Amino acid sequence: MTDSPALDVLLHATAAPPTRLEPREDEAELVALLDDLAPGRSVRANMIATLDGAATGPDRVTGSINGPADLRVFTALRALADVVLVGAGTVRQERYRELDLPPAVAATRRAHGRGDRPALAVVTRSGDVPGALLDAERPPLVVTCATSPRVGELRDRLGDGLVVAGRSAVDLRGALAALAERGLTAVLTEGGPTLLGELVSLGLVDELFLTWSPTVVGGPAPRVLDGAPWVRDPLPARLVQLLHADGVLLGRWDLRTASQDARSQLGSAT
C-alpha cells in the first residue's frame, strides 16, 4: 500500500495525532489512530458518497467513486473489526469474497489482539447469498429470520454459521446480540445503504466513517442511508476526525449520543 497517498490529519478531537499519515505496508499508524473506542460492543459504519450525495457510481457499485485514500481507511477499519456486517444485496452487487487483509496489515491486527482477519456476516431476509461465497473455505455467517424461504437450506449448509434473529424480518438488535455471544463485539458495517438506514433508524450505529469523493454523478443513485423511514428527530453527530488526500475528505462522526438508549437495550458487553 506504499503507493497510496499520504493522509493529512485536518482535525482530531480527542488527541494530538501526527499531522500527516504516510502510507505504510502495515498501516500501523493509521490503525492506532482509529483504535480508541472503549472496550465492549460497538458498531461502526464505513461509507462513501459523491459531492451530490450518491452512494454509488452510475454502475451501481462503489468502485467507480472510491480510490486509494478511501482504501487506506477501509483497510484499517477492517483490521480493527471482529466482524464485517453487510447486506446481501451489497454482497451480490459488490461481489464480496472472503475477507483477507494484506499480510503486513494482518500482523498489525494481531498486534492489536485480534486474529488474522475479521469474520463476514451477511444479512438477508430472502436467504439469497451467492453460492460461491457459501462454498468458500471460510464461509460467512448468515443472519436471517425464521420465515426466510431458504432458512432450512442455509442451516444444512452452514450449521452453526446460521444466525436466526427475528421471525418475519431480521431483528438487527437480536442479530448484534447473537454476534456478541460469539465474541464478535467490534462490528463494522459496510452497508449497503438499506442496511445502514435500518441500523441508524434503530439507533445502533456508534460511529459513521464517511468519505466524500470529489466527483459528481447525478442520476437516481441511492443515498448513504436509503429506504429507511425519517428519524423522529435529526440525529446529532460530532466530528471526531477529518482526513484529506488528493481532494478526498474522510470524516469520522460520533453518533453515540443518539445510540445510547439502543445500546443499553443490548445489555452489557460480553
d(CA 78, CA 75): 5
Residue type, 94: E
The Cα–Cα gap between 234 and 75 comes to 30
Instruction: Give the contacts of 58 (CB within 8 A, at least 6 positions apart).
Output: 64, 217, 219, 221
- pLDDT at residue 265, as a whole number: 46
DSSP 58: T
Residue 6 corresponds to which cell in the numbers above? 499520504
Q: Given the C-alpha cell 431480521, which residue does it identify?
A: 170
Q: What is the pLDDT of residues 83-138, one digit of tens each?
A: 999 999 999 999 999 999 999 999 999 999 999 999 999 999 999 999 999 999 99
Percent of the chain with pLDDT over 90: 84
Cα 60 to Cα 39, 97, 133, 220, 230, distances in angstroms: 36, 18, 21, 10, 24
Can you read off the three cell numbers belonging to residue 158?
452452514
Around Cβ 219, how many Cβ atoms within 10 Å?
10
Task: Compute the distance between CA of residue 152 and CA of residue 245 in angstroms, rounded to an integer.
Answer: 48
Does the pLDDT value for residue 239 go beyond 50?
Answer: yes
Going by C-beta distance under 8 Å and a sequence separation of 6 or more, which residues neighbour residue 84?
A: 78, 99, 118, 119, 120, 121, 188, 189, 190
pLDDT at 206 over 60: yes
Residue 269 pLDDT level (bands cut at 50, 70, 90): very low
pLDDT at 267 over 50: no
- Using the predicted structure, report yes or no on whether residue 243 has a pLDDT greater than 60: yes
Give the per-residue pLDDT at 256: 86
Q: Dump pLDDT digits (tens) for 35-49.
A: 998 889 999 999 999
- Band of pLDDT at residue 1, cut at 50, 70 and 90: low
Mean model confidence pLDDT for the chain: 92
Q: Considering only CA atoms, which of 119, 87, 104 is closest in space to residue 24?
A: 104
Closest CA to 66 of 249, 268, 269: 249
Mean pLDDT of 260-267: 48
Enclosing H/E stretch for 249: strand 248-254
Task: Report whether 26 contacts 194 (CB < 8 A).
Answer: no
Contacts of residue 222, defined as CB under 8 A and 6 or more positions apart, other chains included, come to 54, 55, 56, 192, 193, 194
pLDDT digit string (tens) for 164-181? 999 999 999 999 999 999
pLDDT, position 260 = 57
Prediction pTM value: 0.92
Which amino acid appears at position 143 of this protein? V
Tell me: pLDDT of 258 over 60.
Answer: no
What pLDDT, in 10s, does the model give residues 10-65?
998 877 778 999 999 999 999 999 999 888 999 999 999 999 999 999 999 999 99
Domains present along the chain, CATH in parentheses: 21-266 (3.40.430.10)
Q: Are 55 and 225 in contact (CB under 8 A)?
A: no
Q: How big is the CA angle at 49 (ends 98 and 227), to the nearest 5 degrees?
A: 80
Higher pLDDT, 186 or 263: 186
Please give the pLDDT value at position 230: 79
Of residues 246 and 228, more confidently modeled: 246
